């Protein structure tokens, strides 16, 4: 049996899974079944035995766990299913996955049992009753011999990573267990490879198994240059941002992840690091999806974090990079993904992140794309700093070439003369000043750390210069008392046009002069938000001009914003979803009487009266300006 991406486009709801499982899948953000899931779930639900050839990373755990959970009788806390795994790590991982998928099955219990864990703990847990056991063969045998584990009620047995169990010398234990479980059970055997020994076990212990094998892609010659970077999960984000900084010819990227949840999480993290980025997943309406793609085309965003389904057919010529942040299920999905770059006759670049246990994918992809995938070494902080300095240098060269600087020559000359400071020192101070928000050096740039991934400091690196020149979010603590109630600030500027591209922000809406209404948004002082961030987000994402945004009042956990009354439903939808500082605004109109300003009355904001504040200390004197010590 083989699968192709088109045959898997249907959602989980077409596979016959029960509502609590579909709900849990929605919670974890899975959009569509992986090929192995689409193939196995109906077979297992129908009660057949199954022989599956699948590697880690293909989604095989859910492929057997979901039908298993569907068949569990929650009322009977006796082992009804057993999963044998080669290692304790895998046993724990599988047990955790089951727990996750059984989130809406109250009272469900799964117990991992493996060598190395205290027998006393396991005996106690077993005596309390459980529905599913996940264990390593040796320890499961121990318990069966002691009769602390009784499998009379077992109706399903899964052998996970059977070839690994063979390689680790467990195959006799596995056969022994198979012989000591009820013969009428349903059995599924998963293995990355199918050596003869495994086939013989399957032949002897499985009843007319259906075979599921995921086709390992039609081979396609690709022109995209491909690299991979081996990294552990915890370091992936840092690796990604560093690589993005040093990549040549970066214009725009699509970053692929597996789940809807991951699109939002990664987009938020990249945004916090200064990138202009949006998430693209199946939860977006067609209208919003098109809006994201338009913004990518126009250059108002540079990065889209997407799932496979949401990015299907996406054709944007400026996408210079495809990043496989999460490894695809199979080589076909990989080929589809990297087809999003190298369009309109341009060269494309594909980068693949692989955890050590996913390295087997490399050979498969090389075979499928008929091309070598080169190793990418993690850029060191020093390399990132060099790149930033090169970009900074170019900016200076461009300014000297293109701008009129006479006035500034005079300023520098005056500082030289009056302060007796050399021009080089002035230039260094100015370089410091102009890069203060985005330092040229990463933390640790001076310590010549080895290039291994273990040495990556968990630093938040600011975005490189290709990202939108957006204002950095100022430190929340730096807010002053006078920030309490605000007239709307000017929206932040969009990135200036690059390479002759037109810069098309979200289409601006026009509103007839009229009444403003008060809306509530779910972010406030405690989240460190500033009024100008709110205005910027509303102006840029919803296309409401600064002039149509009235007074903004910050409260601890929410903010009230004056906007035109009777906003259309599509705009309200956008306003609800906009995120500021990673918080969805969840905008809604305030009820009459809901807005009660309990704070003490203040003076009118000086800026609104069009005059400068006359700040005085309590003693009536003006504050003195203190010279900064050098
Ligand atoms: P496995 O091959 O079972 O180890 O799964 C590999 C990874 O894929 C795990 O992190 C799963 O959470 C994830 N995964 C499995 N099925 C899906 C799916 N249908 N959509 C998104 N992610 C999935």
7 vs 99, which has greater pLDDT? 99
Q: What is the mean pLDDT of residues 44-52?
A: 97
- CB contact set of 437 (below 8 Å; sequence gap of 6+): 462, 472
Instruction: Quickly count helices (H) and strands (E) in the chain.
Output: 20, 21
> In the structure, what pLDDT confidence band is assigned to residue 506 with cuts at 50, 70 and 90?
low
Q: Would you put residue 319 in left (φ > 0), alpha (ψ -120 to 50) or beta?
A: beta
In a domain, 419, yes or no: yes
Domain endpoint, select from 379, 403, 428: 379
Are 13 and 97 found together in one domain?
A: yes
Strands 225-230 and 319-324: unpaired
- CB contact set of 185 (below 8 Å; sequence gap of 6+): 154, 155, 156, 157
- Is the pLDDT at 458 greater than 60, yes or no? no
Kindly calculate the radius of gyration of the chain based on its CA atoms and give it in whole angstroms: 30
Percent of the chain at pLDDT exceeding 70: 81
- Is the pLDDT at 575 greater than 50, yes or no? yes
pLDDT in tens, 400-441: 999 999 999 999 999 999 988 999 999 999 999 988 877 888
Ligand 1 test: best mutation among 62, 164, 265, most atoms within 8 Å of CB?
Answer: 62
449 vs 439, which has greater pLDDT? 439
Q: How far is ligand 1, taken at its centre, from the CA of residue 59, in Å? A: 4
- Please state whether the predicted TM-score (pTM) of the whole model is above 0.85: no
- Is the pLDDT at 460 greater than 80, yes or no? no
Are 343 and 408 found together in one domain?
A: no
Are 267 and 369 found together in one domain?
A: yes
Are 300 and 231 found together in one domain?
A: yes
- Is the pLDDT at 493 greater than 60, yes or no? no
Q: Which two tokens stand for residue 614?
A: 């006359």
**Per mean pLDDT, which range of 120-124, 508-512, 549-553 is the poorest?**
508-512
**Closest C-alpha residue for ligand 1 atom 13:** 59
Are 303 and 176 found together in one domain?
A: no
The reported pLDDT for the residue numbered 174 is 96
**Per mean pLDDT, which range of 169-178, 336-345, 411-420, 603-612 is the poorest?**
603-612
Q: Which two tokens stand for residue 241?
A: 């941002």
Percent of the chain at pLDDT exceeding 90: 54
In a domain, 597, yes or no: no
CB-CB neighbours of 406 under 10 Å: 7
pLDDT in tens, 235-294: 999 999 999 999 988 999 999 999 999 999 999 999 988 899 999 999 998 889 999 999
Which atom of ligand 1 is closest in space to residue 30's alpha carbon? 20
Q: What is the mean pLDDT of residues 125-145?
A: 96
Query: What φ, ψ does residue 163 adopt, rounded to 5°?
Result: -65, -30
Are 274 and 420 found together in one domain?
A: no
Domain endpoint, select from 194, 214, 234: 214
The reported pLDDT for the residue numbered 411 is 93
Are 269 and 287 found together in one domain?
A: yes
Q: How far is ligand 1, taken at its centre, from the CA of residue 57, in Å? A: 6
**Closest C-alpha residue for ligand 1 atom 14:** 59
Q: Kindly report the average pLDDT of the chain as a whole number.
A: 82
> In the structure, what pLDDT confidence band is assigned to residue 508 with cuts at 50, 70 and 90?
confident
E strands present in 466-603: 485-486, 516-521, 552-554, 559-564, 579-580, 583-584, 588-589
The reported pLDDT for the residue numbered 468 is 29
State the number of CA atoms in the 13 A half-sphere of 263 facing the CB. Answer: 24
The reported pLDDT for the residue numbered 4 is 36
pLDDT in tens, 75-95: 999 999 999 999 998 999 999
Q: How far is ligand 1, taken at its centre, from the CA of residue 265, in Å? A: 17
Query: Which residues form the pocket of ligand 1, taking CB atoms under 6 Å from any ligand atom?
Result: 30, 33-34, 37, 56-62, 258-259
**Closest C-alpha residue for ligand 1 atom 15:** 59
- Is the pLDDT at 101 greater than 60, yes or no? yes
Q: Give the rounded distance of the alpha carbon of 324 from its chain centre.
A: 11
In a domain, 538, yes or no: yes
Which atom of ligand 1 is closest in space to residue 60's alpha carbon? 3
Question: Which CATH number characterizes residue 583's domain?
Answer: 3.30.70.330
The reported pLDDT for the residue numbered 484 is 36
Domain residue limits at 193: 2-214
Which atom of ligand 1 is closest in space to residue 58's alpha carbon? 2
**Closest C-alpha residue for ligand 1 atom 1:** 59
Q: How many domains does the chain have?
A: 4
pLDDT in tens, 513-547: 778 899 999 998 877 888 888 988 898 888 888 88
Domain endpoint, select from 448, 464, 492: 448
Question: Which CATH number characterizes residue 41's domain?
Answer: 3.40.50.300
Q: How far is ligand 1, taken at its centre, from the CA of residue 410, in Å? A: 63
In a domain, 337, yes or no: yes
Q: What is the mean pLDDT of residues 28-46?
A: 95
């Amino acid at each position: 049996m083989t699968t192709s991406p088109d045959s898997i486009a249907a959602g989980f709801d077409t596979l016959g899974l029960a509502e609590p499982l579909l709900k849990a899948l929605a919670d974890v953000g899975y959009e569509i079944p992986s090929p192995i899931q689409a193939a196995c779930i109906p077979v297992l639900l129908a009660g057949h035995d199954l022989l599956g050839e699948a590697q880690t990373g293909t989604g095989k755990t859910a492929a057997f766990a979901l039908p298993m959970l569907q068949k569990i009788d929650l009322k009977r806390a006796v082992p009804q299913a057993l999963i044998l795994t080669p290692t304790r790590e895998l046993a724990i991982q599988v047990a955790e996955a089951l727990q996750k998928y059984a989130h809406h099955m109250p009272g469900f219990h799964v117990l991992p049992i493996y060598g190395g864990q205290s027998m006393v703990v396991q005996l106690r847990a077993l005596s309390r009753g459980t529905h599913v056991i996940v264990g390593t063969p040796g320890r499961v045998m121990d318990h069966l011999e002691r009769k602390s584990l009784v499998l009379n009620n077992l109706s399903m047995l899964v052998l996970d990573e059977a070839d690994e169990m063979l390689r680790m010398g467990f195959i006799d234990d596995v056969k022994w267990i198979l012989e000591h479980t009820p013969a009428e059970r349903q059995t599924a055997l998963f293995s990355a490879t199918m050596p003869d020994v495994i086939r013989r076990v399957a032949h002897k212990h499985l009843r007319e198994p259906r075979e599921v094998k995921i086709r390992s892609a039609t081979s396609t010659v690709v022109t995209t240059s491909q690299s991979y970077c081996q990294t552990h999960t915890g370091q992936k984000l840092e690796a990604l941002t560093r690589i993005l900084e040093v990549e040549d010819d970066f214009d725009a990227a699509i970053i692929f992840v597996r789940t809807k949840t991951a699109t939002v999480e990664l987009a938020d993290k990249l945004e916090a690091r200064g990138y202009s980025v949006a998430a693209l997943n199946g939860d977006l309406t067609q209208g919003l999806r098109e809006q994201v793609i338009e913004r990518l085309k126009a250059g108002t965003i540079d990065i889209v974090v997407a799932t496979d389904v949401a990015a299907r057919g996406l054709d944007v010529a400026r996408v210079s990079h495809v990043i496989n942040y999460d490894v695809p299920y199979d080589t076909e999905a990989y080929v589809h993904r990297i087809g999003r770059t190298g369009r309109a006759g341009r060269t494309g670049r594909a980068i693949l992140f692989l955890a050590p246990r996913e390295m087997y994918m490399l050979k498969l992809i090389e075979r499928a794309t008929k091309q070598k995938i080169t190793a990418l070494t993690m850029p060191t902080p020093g390399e990132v700093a060099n790149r930033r300095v090169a970009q900074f240098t170019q900016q200076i060269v461009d300014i000297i070439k293109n701008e009129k600087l006479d006035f500034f020559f005079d300023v520098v000359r005056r500082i030289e003369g009056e302060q007796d400071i050399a021009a080089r020192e002035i230039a260094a101070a100015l370089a410091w000043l102009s890069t203060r928000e985005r330092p040229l050096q990463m933390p640790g740039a001076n310590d010549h750390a080895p290039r291994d991934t273990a040495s990556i400091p968990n630093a938040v690196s600011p975005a490189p210069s290709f990202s939108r020149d957006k204002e950095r979010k100022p430190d929340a603590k730096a807010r002053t008392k006078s920030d309490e109630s605000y007239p709307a600030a000017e929206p932040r500027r969009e990135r200036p046009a690059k390479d002759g591209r037109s810069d098309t922000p979200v289409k601006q809406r026009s509103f007839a002069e009229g009444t403003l209404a008060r809306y509530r948004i779910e972010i406030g002082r405690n989240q460190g938000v500033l009024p100008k961030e709110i205005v910027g987000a509303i102006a840029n994402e919803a296309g409401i001009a600064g002039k149509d945004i009235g007074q903004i009042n910050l409260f601890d956990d929410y903010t009230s914003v004056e906007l035109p009354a009777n906003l259309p439903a599509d705009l309200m939808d956008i306003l609800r979803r906009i995120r500021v500082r990673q918080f969805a605004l969840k905008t809604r109109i305030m009820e009459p009487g809901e807005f009660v300003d309990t704070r003490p009355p203040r003076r009118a904001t000086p800026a609104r009266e069009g005059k400068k504040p006359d700040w005085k200390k309590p003693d009536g004197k003006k504050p003195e300006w203190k010279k900064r010590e050098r």
